[in-house]
Amino acid sequence: MDYDVLVIGSGIGGMESSIKLADMGYRVLLVEKEASVGGRMILLSKVFPTLDCASCISGPKMSSTVNHPNITSKTFSEVESIRRTEDGRFVATIREKAKFVDWAACTGCDMCQKACTVAVPDQFNANLAARRAAYIAFPQAVPKKAVLQREGTSPCIGACPAGIKAHGYVSLVRSGKYEEAFQLVLDATPLVGTLGRACYAPCESECTRAKLEGPVPIRLIKRFAADRHYESADGSPAVEVAEANGRKIAIIGSGPAGLTAAWQLARKGYAVTILEKRDQPGGYLRHAIPAYRLPHDVVDADIANLTALGVEIRCNAPVTDPEALKAEGYDAVILATGTQVATRMDVPGEDASGSVNGLDFLAAVANGQAPDLSGKRVVVVGGGNVAMDAARVSLRLGAAEAKVAYRRTRAEMPAHHVESKDAEAEGAVFELLVAPTEVIVADGKVTGVRMQKMQLGAPDASGRRSPEPIPGSDYVIDCDLVISTIGMSPDPTPFATLADRRGRISVDSKTLQTAVPYLFAAGDVTAGATDITRAIGSGRRAAHMVDRWLNDQPLDGFTALDDRLETISQDSVLARQTAFGHRHPVNGEVSLQKFPRDFSEIEAPLTIDQARAGAGSCLDCGVCSECQQCVQACPAFAIKMDQRDKLTELHVGAVVVATGHKLFAADLKPEYGFGKFANVITGMQMDRLLAPTRPFNTVLRPGDGKVPDRIAYISCTGSRDKTVGNPLCSKFCCMYSIKQNQLIMGALPLADVTMHYMDMRAAGKRYEEFYTQARDMGAQYIKGRVSRIVEEPNGDLLVRYEDIEGGGGIVEASYDLVVLAVGIQPNREVERLFGETPLGLDEYYYVAEPSAEISPGQTTIPGVFVAGTASGAKDIVDTILHAGAAVAQVAAHLEHQHFTEEVMA
């Protein structure tokens, strides 16, 4: 048996049970779902009727709990299930939730919390204030250790094939940490400026804010960070680099995959040489994407990140013999040559002058060899992004007409919607449901394209409906230039032996290693035409694997993409919001004109205000943004983003359920306006306002920070109330209200405190005297229920109530602040604990005690006991005595178990 007793919950009942059992010599396993022991009591101000500080009572018990030699406390853990075995013992499955912090190393210094860029409501301050996603539960937490709240991968990050932490840099920009935002992207790829412009931003499509007013302008926020960095860049390396390790890597191709792989390897200390067959680096970033979308100086600035680290880029250096590279002393080679072969139309006349493929056309323009198309008519065949680029470039070169001929309809067009829309806005014309059958040539020059009309037939393998020719529907589009953009594929030479039948280099998709061990391949050369993000993701992967391979490590551990937490669903993000601030969407401004004549960048950057406002609309879907600030701030290197939940099965002799209660959700009484009226708060919130560790330095009303003069209490909020399904009395609310009444009169001597009550239930040792004391201090107690609260324009609250003792009339009174004395609700998490033979509950879902009078604490399952409010309303004193009763019976159960065992043996 691993432990004698499992105690679930470390509130006052759980701690009391654990300490007493441990004092008796039993080995106790205490499981607590929060990061600290202590439950709710440690969050209170003072406790009735002695007015001891809650901390002074709870704090030392918390300390005794975690320091007791017989208690093993697992905080931030949950009991997944408990099974009773045939011998009357129990097997408990414990989930130690990932904290993403190595608690053995964490010193509780708070630096992560200070560095964190995400703020969420602080449940330990009853949501009156915010805490960070990296947090220590509260100042008196025991153990005082930090936790990162990660609810999953944010959808924007989950959507990024490059594994770039979009949420992270958005969060950093929101916090004004612009350079850190740039650095976060730079950690993945040097192509920060490029992505800020030319990325198709799958992150924005997944952005949860898109379901409300419109997505966070994630791409433009990245561009903002990049532009800001490059404005002051001086050519020195932007990152720290590991010491040279003496190893050499050759990378063939300088597109996004090759550049990214080079970047990652150079930072690890490798001597990297990029071999580029063209005379300028950048691959399709420079040679295919037109400058009005991605200016060449931006590509240059991105590449300068790389060269600043000493990466050599050899242009005009086509590779013909990879084995020669090995012989030259390169330890590994990464092939990243992309898709260099344009797909042919295979129609007559295709090779005539005036008929080009889009890749050659765009590359020529990029290299300053743009043809003059003034007054020319251009037909672009194809419907992808390259087609749009070719049409729009043609228009900029003076074309009088740019027709895009596509064989299906607009809906099937592979180009991104924004691209086709912008192309149209600039003057491109779409000819849809047509396919070329011949390039018409006269005098060696193109004069037109013969087109055949098409119709859509049955869906093909990709799900798109296949175009079928309509016989006899030929016609000719007159033109001077035909640009074909119907696809591209890798050029496997000189690696043909490694390529599949489509010319793609065959690799293991996880390791990117080819059949030749030292040869890895990354990007489109392995996958066919994709996009920049996938190329970058692949480049990162290749660099990681090459490094592993050269260090004789197993080819795994690529956490950036292979070990992400499950992406959190947008619905759950929306469901957890209590209120939405409406945010005007921030959109980029693109200046489009018909027949543009220059190649200047068409999209305007975000202003600093736009960038921060846009970033400010982020909903922090995964909570932690993965911005890495805590990782860098932690002096103990304790942040472990790769930590995961751990399940353990443990054998125990008995179980104490001390799972406590929930507080009534006050918004279920809409007539009191909680959640709607800022100055209506709960009793728990008032306790926080009064506590020594209070969020503000005084009692104030949340609406406007005013120190209240007239404070009303409404007792029995959610208790003794059949309208909310709870006829039970919660027992402690009268008393905590009286306590708060006294504390308020101490803190705010001029304030008037009035309590609207049904019956004052000051039942307990010295409770009545405590009530008398409050009345003597000047608190007013008015019998009668409150029927409604109305908010006045200045935030004051008009309370409508029955004044029974004053004659029974309906009266209205204005207050600055209303405190709802909310009561107790069952914590229904216990229902799932015992699986198929569940713990017996009473009709109000509290743990049933079949013999409440003679064996308080006994439940329906032998060996399972209950301590505290899990079995119904109790104040702290009653909870402690109830725990004592449970302990005596747990011990009796264990003694009997030992005895039986000895007899049997």
Partner 1 sequence: MSTEAVQPGADQPEQRRIGVYICHCGGNISDYVDVNAVREALAEEPGVVVSESPVFACSDGTQHDMIDAIHDQHLDGLVVASCSPKLHQVTFRNVAKRADLNQYAYTQVNVREQASWAHPHDRAGATEKAIGLVRAGVAKTRLSDPLEPLVVKTEPRTLVVGGGIAGLRAAIGLADLGIAVVLVEREAELGGWTGRFGPTFPDNRLGSDEVDELVEQIRGRRDITVYTRAELTGKAGSFGNYDVQLTLHREGSDKLLEVRVGSIIVATGFDSYAPDEGEYGYGMDGVLTLPEFKAMVDAAPSGPLTVNGRPVRSIGYIYCVGSRQEAPGNEYCSKFCCTATVHASLQVAALDPSIRQFHVYRDIRAYGRNELLFNESRDKGSTYLKFADDNPPAVSKLANGTLGLTVTDLLTESREVMLPVDLVVLVTGMVPRQNTSLVELLKLPLGSDGFFNEIHPKLRPVETVVDGVMIAGCCQSPRTVGESVAAGLAAVAQSAALLKKGFAELEPLVARVDPDKCTGSGACLTTCPYEAITSIQWEGRTIASVDPATCKGCGGCVPLCEQDAIDLLGYTDAQMRAAIEELVAAQPQKEPVA
Q: Tell me the closest approach of the beta carbon of residue 762 to partner 1, in angstroms.
A: 6
Q: Tell me the closest approach of the beta carbon of residue 819 to partner 1, in angstroms.
A: 20
C-alpha 435/C-alpha 456 separation (Å) is 12
The tokens for 716 are 């029995």
User: Measured from the CB atom, is 63 or 632 closer to partner 1?
Assistant: 63
Among 354, 448, 653, 857, binds partner 1 (CB under 8 A): 857
Torsion-angle region of 38 (φ positive above 0: left; ψ -120 to 50: alpha; else: beta) = left
Confirm or reject binding of residue 143 to partner 1 (CB under 8 A). Answer: yes
Q: What is the dihedral sign for C-alpha 810, 812, 813, 819?
A: positive
Q: Which of residues 253-282 bind partner 1 (CB under 8 A)?
A: none
SS3 569: coil
Among 91, 728, 790, 813, binds partner 1 (CB under 8 A): 728
CB atoms near residue 704 (< 10 Å): 11
Q: Which of residues 18-37 bind partner 1 (CB under 8 A)?
A: 20, 23-25
CA distances in angstroms from 279 to 276, 313, 873, listed in the order given: 7, 10, 79
Confirm or reject binding of residue 698 to partner 1 (CB under 8 A). Answer: no
User: Measured from the CB atom, is 142 or 265 closer to partner 1?
Assistant: 142
Confirm or reject binding of residue 767 to partner 1 (CB under 8 A). Answer: yes
Among 9, 622, 702, 856, binds partner 1 (CB under 8 A): 856
User: Measured from the CB atom, is 65 or 208 closer to partner 1?
Assistant: 65
Q: How far is CA 379 from the centre of its chain?
A: 45
Among 134, 512, 762, 819, binds partner 1 (CB under 8 A): 762
C-alpha 225/C-alpha 166 separation (Å) is 12
From the list 822, 743, 735, the residue with the least C-alpha distance to 770 is 735
Dmax over Cα atoms in the chain, in whole Å?
113
Among 266, 423, 638, 873, binds partner 1 (CB under 8 A): 873
Q: Total binding residues for partner 1 by CB under 8 A?
A: 78
Confirm or reject binding of residue 882 to partner 1 (CB under 8 A). Answer: yes
Rounded (5°) CA angle 397-400-403: 95
C-alpha 309/C-alpha 464 separation (Å) is 46
Among 730, 740, 742, 897, binds partner 1 (CB under 8 A): 730
C-alpha 37/C-alpha 29 separation (Å) is 13
Among 372, 705, 765, 776, binds partner 1 (CB under 8 A): 765
The tokens for 706 are 């005013």
C-alpha 831/C-alpha 835 separation (Å) is 8
C-alpha 890/C-alpha 39 separation (Å) is 22
Among 213, 768, 792, 901, binds partner 1 (CB under 8 A): 768
Q: Tell me the closest approach of the beta carbon of residue 766 to partner 1, in angstroms.
A: 7
Among 76, 521, 883, 897, binds partner 1 (CB under 8 A): 883
The tokens for 520 are 């890895």
Q: Tell me the closest approach of the beta carbon of residue 631 to partner 1, in angstroms.
A: 24
Rounded (5°) CA angle 378-382-386: 85
Pairing relation of β-strands 52-53 and 46-47? antiparallel
Q: Tell me the closest approach of the beta carbon of residue 309 to partner 1, in angstroms.
A: 44
Contact stretch for partner 1 (CB under 8 A) within 49-57, 195-203, 211-219, 396-404: 49-57
Among 854, 903, 904, 905, binds partner 1 (CB under 8 A): 854
Q: Which of residues 389-418 bind partner 1 (CB under 8 A)?
A: none
Per-position DSSP letters for 233-286, written without gaps between them: --SS-SS--PPP-S-EEEEE--SHHHHHHHHHHHHTT-EEEEE-SSSSS-THHH
Residue 868 has φ and ψ, to the nearest 5°, of: 90, -155
Confirm or reject binding of residue 764 to partner 1 (CB under 8 A). Answer: yes
Contact stretch for partner 1 (CB under 8 A) within 63-71, 344-352, 559-567, 621-629: 63-71
Among 121, 139, 329, 375, binds partner 1 (CB under 8 A): 139
Please report where in the chains the tokens 């042919």 appear, as a residue: 344
Contact stretch for partner 1 (CB under 8 A) within 159-167, 385-393, 648-656, 761-769: 761-769
User: Measured from the CB atom, is 294 or 873 closer to partner 1?
Assistant: 873
Q: Tell me the closest approach of the beta carbon of residue 709 to partner 1, in angstroms.
A: 21
Confirm or reject binding of residue 624 to partner 1 (CB under 8 A). Answer: no
Half-sphere exposure of residue 841, counting CA atoms within 13 Å on the CB side? 18
Q: Tell me the closest approach of the beta carbon of residue 94 to partner 1, in angstroms.
A: 23
Among 566, 895, 900, 901, binds partner 1 (CB under 8 A): 895
Confirm or reject binding of residue 880 to partner 1 (CB under 8 A). Answer: yes
User: Measured from the CB atom, is 404 or 891 closer to partner 1?
Assistant: 891
Among 228, 392, 534, 731, binds partner 1 (CB under 8 A): 731
Rounded (5°) CA angle 876-882-887: 125
Q: Tell me the closest approach of the beta carbon of residue 192 to partner 1, in angstroms.
A: 42
C-alpha 128/C-alpha 146 separation (Å) is 21
Q: Which of residues 71-110 bind partner 1 (CB under 8 A)?
A: 108
Among 53, 129, 241, 592, binds partner 1 (CB under 8 A): 53
CB atoms near residue 743 (< 10 Å): 20
Q: Tell me the closest approach of the beta carbon of residue 742 to partner 1, in angstroms.
A: 14
Among 772, 787, 814, 837, binds partner 1 (CB under 8 A): 772
Q: Tell me the closest approach of the beta carbon of residue 800 to partner 1, in angstroms.
A: 19
Confirm or reject binding of residue 47 to partner 1 (CB under 8 A). Answer: yes
C-alpha 552/C-alpha 759 separation (Å) is 76
CA distances in angstroms from 175 to 115, 164, 188, 616, listed in the order given: 10, 19, 21, 9
Among 185, 453, 887, 897, binds partner 1 (CB under 8 A): 887
Beta bridge partners of 799: 789, 813
The tokens for 266 are 């150079």
Confirm or reject binding of residue 729 to partner 1 (CB under 8 A). Answer: yes
Q: Which of residues 794-853 bind partner 1 (CB under 8 A)?
A: 804-805, 807-808, 851-853
